[in-house]
Amino acid sequence: MSKKKRNNSKQGTLQSCTLYVDGMHCPSCEILIEKKLLNEENIEAVDATLDARKVNITYKGEAPDIKNLNSKFEKLGYKFQKEKIKKDTTPLFSFTKSGSIAFNKSKLKNLFFVFLAVAGLLGLFFIVEELKLGKYVSVDTTSSVPTFFFLGIVAGLSSCAALVGGLLLSMIKSWNEKYIDSESILQKAAPHIMFHFGRIISFLILGGVLGFIGSTVINFDPTGEHNTIYITAAVTILISLVMIILALQMLNVEWASKLRFSAPKAASKYVADEDNFRGKYMPFGLGAATFILPCGFTIIAQTAALASGSVGRGALILFFFALGTFIPLLAISASGLAFNSKPHLTAKFNMVAGILILFFALYNINGQLNVLGYFSLNDIGTIFESNKETQSVATTTDGTQQLNFVAKGFEYIPTTTTKIKAGVPTQLIVDNQGISGCGAYMASRGLISGVVQLKKGQNVIDLGTPTKGTYKVTCSMGMVPPVTVEVV
């Protein structure tokens, strides 16, 4: 469907021509080129096609001057010509007749850039994970409100960033496509500002709501038997699957590109038109909705707001927490805006972002598989240790068998055997020596009822009379390396 001028007062015979455009890399290029060309006085209609790298132009009077167009589109990275664009079908490397390897320097350079960017960012992510910064920020219901600001910073740099940060990263491509032709940095940043503003406002308001609930509901326990941990696990997996498809679209995987979550081209043009404002506040709603995304650090802050029993304190706790997470998330927004300041850089950004989103999505799914007790990547390392257990189960005088764990840093360390007998009353004794982040919320589907919030010191968890099977003990987000308990 072509784009036409709304008002046409100029008289003359309509003519058409076809030009080919070098530098087109995504559907947003079609919209950008069409809108820019329609600013030309004699051009009446334009239809750009990404697949053929061409643009059909309907004009009156003189035909569009290629030199003039190239000078105007040079900064955007586009070049017009009359000849068809020859696609670079040369492989990354090939063998010459002499047997030596010849590399495609252009493709090699792009891949090297992507490799360095991805390796650097993932390396930074794992370094932050290993530092276990959460152990330096200990909060409870008596902590000062500003302490939750630092907890928010740690959350934004931790595994929680894999969900909220990954979601934000996956939306940047869509937002940049809508504002790709804007010359104002404020217009380009508008959806980012709305997203962060929506997130902070929702945490402020809903923090007050939690404080109100805490002051009126007696014995309300968010980690009790009727919690929604398994529902949130399913929601997280669903969101992660959508993120995977968006990531594959960024990486130009053909079958994924056919699964469009975006509106048709005609609708995209309507939204991109400055005279229309539908969908303008969607980023605000998306940011506000992140309140319900499961994250261990967020649960800690939400529980503190609930336990405060005060509307004002509950609101401030989550406001400062959201303000802390804003700093790392702002870095993601800034990188997206910087890379997309020039359309020809967008392809590189999409490739880097696509790989990162793919990693974060798989990281999230792996954690939720741990929560649900299913096989995950964490189990690969334990396969070769299956015959390692030789210790007997510790029992008390009344015949109750005991499992003993130490919780510290970001791991659960068994100090007794993890093989126990079925049908025997069992207790799990957890010595919390300083567990951080979501590790403070222990879960095990089928073994532990709901989620148990670990207090400092010794925690006694009644496991009842467990049935035969293999269970995983991990945190509420599945990020703590799971401990496998075998009931025989």
Write out pLDDT tens, residues 211-258: 888 877 644 444 454 456 777 788 778 888 888 888 887 777 777 766
Give me the phi and psi of 155, to 5 degrees please.
-60, -40
pLDDT band at 263 (very low <50, low <70, confident <90, very high): very low
Parallel, antiparallel or unpaired: strands 419-420 and 483-487: parallel
**CATH classification at residue 460:** 2.60.40.420
- Look at residues 372, 396, 422 and tell me which one is the last residue of a structural domain: 372
Determine the pLDDT at residue 90: 67
Task: Clarify whether residues 300 and 428 are in a common domain.
Answer: no
Say if residue 321 is in the same domain as residue 389.
no
Assess whether 222 and 306 both reside in one domain.
yes
Q: Give yes or no for residue 63 having a pLDDT over 60.
A: yes
Domain boundary (338, 372, 406) is at 372
Is residue 101 in some structural domain?
no
Predicted confidence at residue 270, as pLDDT, reads: 46
Q: What is the extent of the structural domain holding 27?
A: 3-81
Q: Residue 450 domain-assigned? A: yes
- pLDDT tens digits for range 454-488: 998 999 999 999 999 999 999 888 888 999 999 99
Provide the pLDDT for residue 181. Answer: 67
Residue 94 placed within a domain: no
CA pair distance 244, 246, nearest whole angstrom: 5
Comparing 451 with 347, the larger pLDDT belongs to 451
Residue for token pair 């469907």: 1
Q: What is the mean pLDDT of the chain?
A: 80
Angle between helices 105-131 and 343-372 (to 10 degrees): 40
Q: How many domains does the chain have?
A: 3
pTM of this prediction? Answer: 0.67
What pLDDT does residue 275 have? 42
Token couple for 140: 């409870």
Are residues 57 and 9 located together in one domain of the fold?
Answer: yes
- Domain final residue, candidates 342, 372, 402: 372
Which has the higher per-residue pLDDT, 270 or 422?
Answer: 422
pLDDT in tens, 82-121: 888 877 666 766 777 777 777 777 777 777 878 888 888 7
Percent of the chain topping pLDDT 90 = 23
